[in-house]
Amino acid sequence: MPVIYEKEYKRYHIRGKSFSMVLAEYEMGDGSCVPLMRYYGSSLSRIPVEEGELLTERFRSFDTANAVLPFAVPTAGHGDFRPVQFEIIDGRGQNCTRLSLTGHGVIPGKKKLAGLPATYVEEEEEAQTLYLDLKDEKSGASVRVSYTLFEELDALAVSAEIRNDGGDGLILEQAGSVSLSLPQAVDFVHLHGAWAREFNLEKTGPMHGERTVRSMRGASGHQHNPFVALAVPGAAEQSGEVYGISLVYSGNFQITADQDAYDHTRVVAGINSQTFQWKLAPGESFQTPEAVLVYSDHGYGHLSQIYHELYKKRLCRGRYRDRCRPILVNNWEATYFAFNREKLLEIAGTAADLGIELFVLDDGWFGRRDDDSSSLGDWFVYEEKLPEGLLQVSDEIHKLGLKFGLWFEPEMISENSRLYENHPDWVLRADGYVMTPSRNQYILDLSRKEVQDYLIERVSRVLEENRIDYVKWDMNRNFAETGSASGIPSGELPHRYMLGVYRIMEVITGRHPDVLFEGCSGGGGRFDPGMLYYMPQIWTSDNSDAVSRLKIQYGASLVYPPGTMCSHVSAVPNHQVRRVTGLEIRGHVAMSGVFGYQLDFNRCTPKEREQIREQIKAAKQYREIVRTGKFTRLISPFSTGDCAWQFRTEKEILVFAFRILQQANVMPPQICLADLPLDAVWQDGEGQIYDSRYLMHHGLATHLSNPIEGERGDFQSQVFHLKKTGE
Ligand code: GLA
């Protein structure tokens, strides 16, 4: 039994394959009984009955038990000066919630979260859920915290539901998804960035006080991914203890880690409390988003592998979850807004000849959209640009043997649009204030059902009438003036907006199960687990430069499977950084994710086109290994001038190695592989045989330090494909 209640000791032991979490009942002096987080770490077979001296048993001036106990569900108002999970204001205006245990249970499987994306089970046996019921009798606030253990996948999903069981209205000032207590000081690792510069890995050592990553943008944002790893100092890729916290949420979030005066760490993760205030009438309830916790005692690499498996198998959904993804060409960087039917068919024709499988028509096909100043919301074909209509273009593309995909930005509205003329009140705006434009556009008020319904019907009509096989769902600005004509207060709007987005996505993806959906928000501005629940792949960054992408994809892989990261070969000089790199490295970087192109093949030389033909063949050969294989980071571009990573299935290994800047007079780098079955033997394309131990300890010899005469020296790459052999 992986989740056990030990009645004698009044404690709950959640025992995963490699971790244990122990929650123990604790009698407070005021008659309440609260759960403490007594242990979270490497899997235990025995738990000591007494912990020895509890923190509270020693005299401490100024700090009461409330300030030092490792509460599993900490609340405000009782002298716990660390970040709390819940702050609830009762009918008298007091915030002294004391959540006392009223019951618990263990159920097979996992329940759905109302209206929210979450990890799931297909069979009940895959998981067990421990729930703890807590209540504050004075205010009537009831909380059920659910801990779902995915036994085989070795992860823990946690969320909470708050109910108002009292007679007065309650106000939620803070409703976190999870709280963790660790009895040590830890490193804080997070992924920060900006538009076109996402997923930078940053690590800071232990420090007293709070460290927070968050968003107030109405989207998870490019700036901080909703993920934090806390590591016992010294942890590395293949060794050491690391704790991951990943939020299945795409809106305003916060993850705060606080190291107190006793060097203990409290972490609280969930909806951002600064932009949140929720009224809970008697009988109403509020469901928090889910947080996914992963523990690894084999370093960051193993942590990532657990997240990858869980997110690939039990977060992503739909027909494409387990299918290889079509290789696409997208016309955005090839034409931007300046295209017509002939131009599109010219690109598609060459694409089909080269082996491409999907043609994607990006921004500019609707309303009167010639630049980014108009038409968002008018999801009708731009007839002056495509006079024969969209269906005709779609048919022509299909006749070439390609699938046809279309770009949308459903959540947005341009002031210069028919939709705005007809429904000026459908925009998010604060009464009496000027709306702040961003990319010349505004955000639709998706907290309102009529706006959601309009989008569901309009987008569905376009998909149904035009034989659309793929949708790129973009979102290109963040919140300002968060108000609604329907009177929803600003404290509720960001979350109600997200619930609206999720409902629209649930209905549209459900109605069109054969369509492949790709998420996007100016690249990785909403690359989060919430989106992956609806869309199994996401455009990772608007930066398509191969060198920039090494860091972006390396950083993102800390949580997200490479098979969810869309990555394209684009033209040089690159449009974002003007760097000139060879086709080979551009191909190898893009093949490490969901592969595609974003250029006009007709502008390539015949030699380049032949190279592209070969590249597409290789990508088809490798894509299943990339999608399903175990991913291991080998060399970090954040700490060296090189980069390498490895994908491994039962029978194959694929290694990509990169040298960013060349050096004179150095030996060729050896790439040591990792995480191989010890007794296996492997063979490369030239018939060379390697023992796993040789590959891990001696490594593969590369040609990365030998630039070919007359060729570029910098930006070299090499791929190795090894197959398991019986010899
Ligand atoms: C965003 C996307 C791009 C492209 C443009 C179109 O920036 O990230 O890929 O679709 O919008 O306007």
Residue nearest to atom 9 of ligand 1 (CA): 542
The pLDDT score that the predictor gives to residue 310 is 98
Task: Answer for the pair 368, 382: CB distance below 8 angstroms, yes or no.
Answer: yes
Q: Beta 652-659 vs 716-725: how paired, if at all?
A: antiparallel
Structure tokens at 500: 């609206």
- Over residues 258-268, the mean pLDDT reads 97
For residue 474, the CA-to-ligand 1 centroid distance in Å is 7
- The answer, yes or no, to whether residue 533 has pLDDT greater than 70, is yes
Report d(CA 676, CA 651) in Å as an integer: 11
What residues flank ligand 1, with Cβ below 6 Å?
332, 362-363, 407, 474, 476, 520, 522-523, 539, 542
The pLDDT score that the predictor gives to residue 631 is 98
Per-residue pLDDT of 299-342, as tens digits, reads 999 999 999 999 999 999 999 999 999 999 999 999 999 999 99
Q: Write down how long the chain is.
A: 727
Closest ligand 1 atom to Cα of 521:
8
Closest ligand 1 atom to Cα of 523:
8
For residue 522, the CA-to-ligand 1 centroid distance in Å is 5
- The answer, yes or no, to whether residue 167 has pLDDT greater than 90, is no
- The answer, yes or no, to whether residue 708 has pLDDT greater than 80, is no
- The answer, yes or no, to whether residue 27 has pLDDT greater than 70, is yes
The pLDDT score that the predictor gives to residue 597 is 98
For residue 521, the CA-to-ligand 1 centroid distance in Å is 8
Active site residue 542: yes
Q: What is the mean pLDDT of the chain?
A: 96
For residue 251, the CA-to-ligand 1 centroid distance in Å is 20
Report d(CA 439, CA 443) in Å as an integer: 11
Residue nearest to atom 8 of ligand 1 (CA): 522
Per-residue pLDDT of 109-163, as tens digits, reads 999 999 999 999 999 999 999 999 999 999 999 999 999 999 999 999 999 999 9
Per-residue pLDDT of 34-61, as tens digits, reads 999 999 999 999 888 766 556 566 667 8
Give strand ranges (E) for 93-222: 100-108, 127-136, 141-150, 155-164, 170-182, 187-192, 200-204, 209-214
Active site residue 474: yes
Sign, CA dihedral 576-577-581-585, equals negative
Task: Answer for the pair 120, 314: CB distance below 8 angstroms, yes or no.
Answer: yes
Report d(CA 335, CA 337) in Å as an integer: 6
640 band by pLDDT with thresholds 50, 70 and 90: confident
CA atoms within 13 A on the CB side of 363: 22
Closest ligand 1 atom to Cα of 472:
10
630 band by pLDDT with thresholds 50, 70 and 90: very high
The pLDDT score that the predictor gives to residue 727 is 59
Report d(CA 14, CA 5) in Å as an integer: 9
- The answer, yes or no, to whether residue 562 has pLDDT greater than 70, is yes
For residue 55, the CA-to-ligand 1 centroid distance in Å is 53
The catalytic position among 474, 600, 642, 675 is: 474
To test ligand 1's pocket by mutation, which of 331, 372, 520, 565 has the most ligand atoms within 8 angstroms of CB? Answer: 520
CA atoms within 13 A on the CB side of 451: 28
The pLDDT score that the predictor gives to residue 48 is 85
Give strand ranges (E) for 432-581: 442-443, 470-473, 516-519, 537-539, 565-570
CA atoms within 13 A on the CB side of 59: 0
To test ligand 1's pocket by mutation, which of 476, 565, 567, 599 has the most ligand atoms within 8 angstroms of CB? Answer: 476
For residue 215, the CA-to-ligand 1 centroid distance in Å is 21
Which region holds residue 240: left if phi is over 0, alpha if psi is between -120 and 50, else beta? left
668 band by pLDDT with thresholds 50, 70 and 90: confident
Residue nearest to atom 2 of ligand 1 (CA): 522
Residue nearest to atom 7 of ligand 1 (CA): 522
Task: Answer for the pair 658, 550: CB distance below 8 angstroms, yes or no.
Answer: yes
Report d(CA 515, CA 460) in Å as an integer: 11
The pLDDT score that the predictor gives to residue 176 is 98
Closest ligand 1 atom to Cα of 542:
8
Residue nearest to atom 1 of ligand 1 (CA): 522
Residue nearest to atom 12 of ligand 1 (CA): 363
Task: Answer for the pair 228, 214: CB distance below 8 angstroms, yes or no.
Answer: no
- The answer, yes or no, to whether residue 194 has pLDDT greater than 70, is yes
For residue 500, the CA-to-ligand 1 centroid distance in Å is 22
The pLDDT score that the predictor gives to residue 49 is 78
Task: Answer for the pair 558, 227: CB distance below 8 angstroms, yes or no.
Answer: yes
- Over residues 432-444, the mean pLDDT reads 97
713 band by pLDDT with thresholds 50, 70 and 90: confident
Please state, in angstroms and as integers, the Cα–Cα distance from residue 169 to each residue in 161, 274, 280, 282, 488, following that order.
16, 21, 6, 6, 17
65 band by pLDDT with thresholds 50, 70 and 90: confident
661 band by pLDDT with thresholds 50, 70 and 90: very high
The pLDDT score that the predictor gives to residue 63 is 86
Residue nearest to atom 11 of ligand 1 (CA): 522
The catalytic position among 63, 187, 378, 542 is: 542
Per-residue pLDDT of 217-259, as tens digits, reads 999 999 999 999 999 999 999 999 999 999 999 999 999 999 9
- Over residues 371-383, the mean pLDDT reads 98
CB-based contacts of 287: which residues, under 8 Å, 6+ apart?
Answer: 113, 114, 115, 116, 159, 160, 161
For residue 418, the CA-to-ligand 1 centroid distance in Å is 22
